[in-house]
């Protein structure tokens, strides 16, 4: 019997822990589906309950599973986990609306809220881009767009459910004020990128300025009620102004 030399610990192969199945929640969905079938057959659920919408819960729970593994592997609520959480919110909202047969003409803002929330949390810059200021600023723009979508969804939901008529507060074209938000956000991110690059006007900052001016012009167009056929020329003017402004900033 030969004695083999001991392998130093640092040279020993790393044992990768066996990963559990990524679909533990599918079983829960199937159990819930069976219970719903049972209650429907026994007459305890009305015909308005759309049981088939439970299948939408499968990708919702799958997204939650992805979020769980992302948090477990990284130890933080990182970019991957946030994106999975946002997807889960969208699928859960869609399933909820179909399950209870909500009137889409009234409750469609719920989907705008869900998508806005998903975009917002998915746009929070993580550790991967902390040293890449250009990409970090572009990602951060999604936060402003998400906030705008959440505000629009909230306002329409309040209006559709007769809780608050926002037109009495902000006027008939109230939504134009909310469109201004991502436009302002683009200009803010352009300034932050400009400062982070040592007061240098990079192409990324120029693009953000142009996008911000275009969005602001669009909001003003909606606010004053101008004809939409002049939108194209105004957007070109906005892009031109962005280049003119950036040309005077070194």
Higher local confidence (pLDDT), 167 or 121: 121
Residue with more model confidence, 170 or 212: 212
| Residue environment code for 123-150, b if the CB has 16+ CB neighbours within 10 A, otherwise e | bebbeebeeebbebbbbbbbbbbbbbbb
pLDDT band at 117 (very low <50, low <70, confident <90, very high): very high
Buried b / exposed e over 158-168, threshold 16 CB at 10 Å, is ebeeeeeebee
Higher confidence at residue 240 or residue 165? 165
Task: Give me the pLDDT at residue 18, please.
Answer: 47
Q: Which two tokens stand for residue 54?
A: 């439970």
Q: Which residue has the higher pLDDT, 139 or 143?
A: 143
Q: How many degrees, rounded to 5, is the angle at CA 28 between CA 38 and CA 65?
A: 155
For residue 249, the model assigns a pLDDT of 57
Average confidence (pLDDT) over 123-133: 70
Residue 119 has pLDDT above 50, yes or no: yes
Confidence of residue 239 (pLDDT cuts 50, 70, 90): low
Q: What percent of the chain has pLDDT over 70?
A: 72
pLDDT of residue 21: 46
Q: How confident is the model at residue 220 (pLDDT cuts 50, 70, 90)?
A: confident
Q: Is the confidence at residue 72, as pLDDT, over 90? A: no
User: Residue 158: is its pLDDT beyond 80?
Assistant: yes
Summarised one tens digit per residue, pLDDT across range 200-211 is: 878 888 888 888
Q: Distance (Å, rounded) from C-alpha 138 to C-alpha 124?
A: 10
pLDDT of the residue at 98: 85
- Angstrom distance (rounded) from CA 91 to CA 95: 6
* 111 vs 33, higher pLDDT: 111
């Amino acid at each position: 019997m030969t004695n083999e030399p001991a392998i130093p610990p640092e040279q020993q192969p790393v044992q990768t822990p066996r990963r559990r199945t990524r679909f533990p929640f599918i079983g829960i969905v199937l159990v819930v589906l069976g219970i719903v079938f049972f209650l429907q057959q026994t007459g305890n659920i009305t015909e308005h309950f759309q049981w088939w919408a439970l299948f939408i819960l499968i990708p919702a729970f799958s997204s939650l599973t992805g979020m769980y593994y992302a948090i477990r592997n990284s130890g933080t609520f990182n970019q991957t986990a946030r994106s999975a959480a946002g997807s889960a919110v969208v699928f859960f909202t869609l399933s909820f609306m179909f399950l209870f047969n909500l009137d889409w003409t009234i409750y469609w803002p719920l989907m705008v809220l869900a998508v806005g929330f998903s975009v917002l949390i998915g746009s929070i810059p993580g550790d991967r881009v902390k040293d890449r200021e250009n990409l970090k600023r572009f990602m951060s723009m999604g936060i402003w767009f998400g906030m705008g979508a959440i505000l629009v969804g909230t306002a329409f939901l309040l209006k559709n459910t007769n809780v608050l008529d926002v037109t009495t507060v902000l006027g008939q074209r109230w939504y134009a004020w909310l469109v201004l938000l991502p436009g302002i956000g683009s200009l803010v991110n352009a300034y932050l990128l400009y400062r982070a690059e040592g007061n240098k006007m990079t192409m990324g900052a120029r693009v953000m300025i142009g996008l911000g001016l275009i969005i602001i012009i669009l909001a003003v167009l909606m606010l004053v009620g101008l004809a939409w056929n002049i939108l194209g020329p105004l957007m070109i003017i906005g892009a031109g102004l962005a280049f003119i402004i950036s040309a005077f900033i070194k």
